[in-house]
Amino acid sequence: MAADYTEDNIKTLEWSEHIRMRPGMYIGKLGDGSSADDGIYILIKEIIDNSIDEFVMGNGKTIDLAIKGNEVKIRDYGRGIPLGKVIDCVSKINTGGKYDSKAFKKSVGLNGVGTKAVNALSSYFKVESVRDGQIKAAEFSQGGITDDHDIEETSTRKGTRMTFVPDDSVFPPYTFRHEYVEGMLWNYAYLNRGLTIHFNGETYESENGLKDLLDRNIDEEPLYPIIHLEGEDIEVAITHTHSYGEDFSSFVNGQYTPQGGTHQTAYRESIAKVIRDHYGKNFEAQDIRASITTAVSIKVMEPIFESQTKTKLGSQDVGPDGPSMRAFINDFLSRELDNYLHKHPAVSEALLKKIMQSERERKEMSGIKKLARERAKKANLHNKKLRDCRVHHGDSHERSLESSIFICEGDSASGSITKIRDVNTQAVFSLKGKPLNTYGLTKKVVYENEEFNLLQAALNIEDGIENLRYNNVIIATDADVDGMHIRLLLITFFLQFFPDLVKQGHVYVLQTPLFRVRTKKATKYCYSDLEKEEALDDLGRNAEITRFKGLGEISPDEFKNFIGKDMRLDPLVIGQDGALKELLSFYMGKNTPNRQEFIIENLKVEKDVIEKAA
């Protein structure tokens, strides 16, 4: 029987109710802070974007950010919001200065939504604006005003301060990760020379823009000095390294676009075309872009992004009456990059040598690749290594952001996960035995080793991660010595051959409980000895304790608690403290005496701690 459809079914929501009911439309996925694109970081970005727009318009050279616990404070020294419109600007949709193109010609945000979304999704939100010796403040909770302060006289510097606490009734239990906030702030600094950002006592600023970005991100000596080119509304930095893959970073109006878009596509195509024309050779695009590390930043009038989170550009034109994106970028590179290579013959020679080396390697590998593809195709038909899901990362669907693949050791663990996974978004890949240690090996091993060949095929990353089938690649191994070893071997594999998979935040390690503490009335799963002790204090010292030695020991009914909405994931993050090659060489290379000495020294420290505690 069809349901009734009457006037009672029609509802009109307040602006804040709609945002709180559909937060994904405004800030993407909610998340717990373990991923760089989780909503709590989008909240920070939305506020900072407004301060950046002030800086771009020539107002205020400093932004202060402080995060203490779950409270975030952001202060700029721009013009400040007009005092009579302070409340409207943070609580009325489609209210803001960015609708006046004279005030904000090339702004990041044009929809007047960002700050309102932060307000609606915060349990506490306060805005303070200082102009002309006066201050206006207002406080809110979940988008509703709780305190409208009168305008007062002040000697405080002009500008705007916003304070907020993400609402834990909307967000899952979350933690701000310093490395993700730091990465965001560095990008702002690279794209806005002359800007100084202070964050919890640290300073972020850049003198050389995208050149500094590449200098910071590359952990080895590039094959030739970084090519840094600037023009009106465009800046690029380019070099090649010894690493595998392509490393592209793209930005629009100061906004990082990790999913690329029309500008990044045009840039990738233009690099190949200009280099072909420069050398007069019809090189394959993949040979030109192999091992490239590059960044591009453009500024456009009224950019069109594919979502409110602005991670992918959809604009086809540079301006209302300007050239197409492709023509604009190609014209710039055809002129500036070609001129640079003519003026720097040593760089031109090094680049040519790298392209020809990539070409030789590709041709040498062609036969091996063909056989590997045939083996992978045959294996996919006749074995059960991959239990796929229905929604994939490449699909134009919001849930594709949640698509995951669990890489498990053995049939027992993969079987448990397979039985209770979400078949729409979660796939399972089963490893057979310990993977090979790939450190120092060439990519040939990826095709010759059955496990790696099938894993590469499952992820669909042979030709780069643009066609990656799963947004989250989750290493799910046992929490014992063998499981830790397998985890390290998989991490080495990804860092060695697909570093951009890690750099772009797709690789995670699944946390699974070490203990189950239970009585007849309650059960608690514990991820550490400390949690186990806390559980015993809570449930009683006579509670039954089970130590899980492997994932296969956890029943499917129990496993559903660990890979659902409360799943604990540790992101694999490449830090800036040391070179990646040196790190891999120490832990995975043939340096047994040094590593042995390191282990002995650290065991001694552990022993001393135990003795002191006793």
CA nearest neighbour of 292 among 340, 233, 222, 194:
222
Q: What angle do CA 255, 260, 262 make, to 5 degrees?
A: 100
| 405 CB-near residues (< 8 Å, 6+ apart) | 389, 426, 427, 428, 429, 458, 459, 469, 470, 472, 473, 474
> Packing angle between helix 580-588 and helix 592-613, nearest 10 degrees?
80
C-alpha distances out from residue 548 to 147, 170, 536, 551, Å: 52, 33, 17, 7
* Integer Cα distance of 186 and 192 in angstroms: 10
Q: Which residue has the tokens 């694109």?
A: 37
CA nearest neighbour of 464 among 273, 264, 311:
264
CA dihedral 19, 118, 35, 51 (to 10 degrees): 140
- Whether residue 611 is predicted with pLDDT greater than 80 in this model: the reply is no
- Whether residue 612 is predicted with pLDDT greater than 80 in this model: the reply is no
Q: What pLDDT does 20 receive?
A: 85
* Integer Cα distance of 100 and 107 in angstroms: 11
C-alpha distances out from residue 221 to 226, 346, 350, 583, Å: 10, 16, 13, 15
Q: What are phi and psi of 539, to 5 degrees?
A: -95, -15
Q: What angle do CA 254, 256, 260 make, to 5 degrees?
A: 125
Are residues 435 and 489 in contact, defined by beta-carbon separation less than 8 angstroms? yes
* Integer Cα distance of 126 and 568 in angstroms: 32
DSSP one-letter code for 317: B
* CA dihedral sign, ordered 226, 227, 232, 233: negative
Q: What pLDDT does 194 receive?
A: 93
Mean pLDDT of 428-456: 88
Q: What pLDDT does 263 receive?
A: 87
* Integer Cα distance of 222 and 195 in angstroms: 28
Helix (H) or strand (E) holding 342: helix 325-343
Count of Cβ atoms closer than 10 Å to residue 593 Cβ: 7
The region of weakest confidence among 329-343, 402-416, 550-564 is 550-564
Q: Report residue 50 as tokens.
A: 């407004």
pLDDT, one tens digit per residue, over 86-140 is 998 898 875 444 434 443 445 555 435 789 999 999 999 999 999 999 999 999 9
- Whether residue 159 is predicted with pLDDT greater than 80 in this model: the reply is yes
The residues that bridge with 61 in the sheet, in sequence order, are none
Amino acid, res. 310? K
The region of weakest confidence among 89-93, 383-387, 545-549 is 383-387
Mean pLDDT of 589-610: 64
Q: Where are the beta strands (DSSP E) in 457-597?
A: 472-476, 507-510, 515-518, 523-526, 544-547, 569-571
The region of weakest confidence among 133-147, 358-372, 507-521 is 358-372
Q: How far apart are the first and last CA of the chain?
A: 72
Q: What is the mean pLDDT of the chain?
A: 84
CA nearest neighbour of 407 among 428, 392, 393:
428
The radius of gyration of the chain's CA atoms, rounded to the nearest angstrom, is 27
CA nearest neighbour of 388 among 451, 454, 450, 435:
454
> Packing angle between helix 178-191 and helix 210-217, nearest 10 degrees?
150
- Whether residue 285 is predicted with pLDDT greater than 90 in this model: the reply is yes
In total, the chain counts a number of residues equal to 614
Q: How many secondary structure helices (H) and strands (E) does the chain include?
A: 20, 23
Instruction: Indicate the pTM of the whole model.
Output: 0.80
CA nearest neighbour of 388 among 353, 421, 348, 349:
421
Q: Which pLDDT band holds residue 348 (cuts at 50, 70, 90)?
A: very high
Burial of 242 by CB count in 10 Å (0-12 exposed, 13-18 middle, 19+ buried)?
exposed
Q: What are phi and psi of 376, to 5 degrees?
A: -65, -40
- Whether residue 610 is predicted with pLDDT greater than 50 in this model: the reply is no
CA dihedral 147, 153, 156, 159 (to 10 degrees): 60
Q: What angle do CA 109, 112, 114 make, to 5 degrees?
A: 70
Are residues 431 and 451 in contact, defined by beta-carbon separation less than 8 angstroms? yes
* Integer Cα distance of 269 and 272 in angstroms: 5
pLDDT, one tens digit per residue, over 166-222 is 999 999 989 999 999 999 999 999 999 999 999 999 999 999 999 999 998 887 889
Q: Which residue has the tokens 């200098």?
A: 215
Q: What pLDDT does 177 receive?
A: 92
* CA dihedral sign, ordered 597, 602, 608, 614: negative
Count of Cβ atoms closer than 10 Å to residue 539 Cβ: 17
Helix (H) or strand (E) holding 166: strand 159-166
- Whether residue 346 is predicted with pLDDT greater than 80 in this model: the reply is yes
Q: What pLDDT does 382 receive?
A: 53
DSSP one-letter code for 20: H
3-state secondary structure of 454: helix
* Integer Cα distance of 426 and 204 in angstroms: 38
CA nearest neighbour of 257 among 104, 573, 25, 45:
45
Mean pLDDT of 495-516: 88
Q: What percent of the chain has pLDDT over 90?
A: 45
Q: Which pLDDT band holds residue 317 (cuts at 50, 70, 90)?
A: low
Q: What pLDDT does 579 receive?
A: 62
Amino acid, res. 24? G
Amino acid, res. 578? G
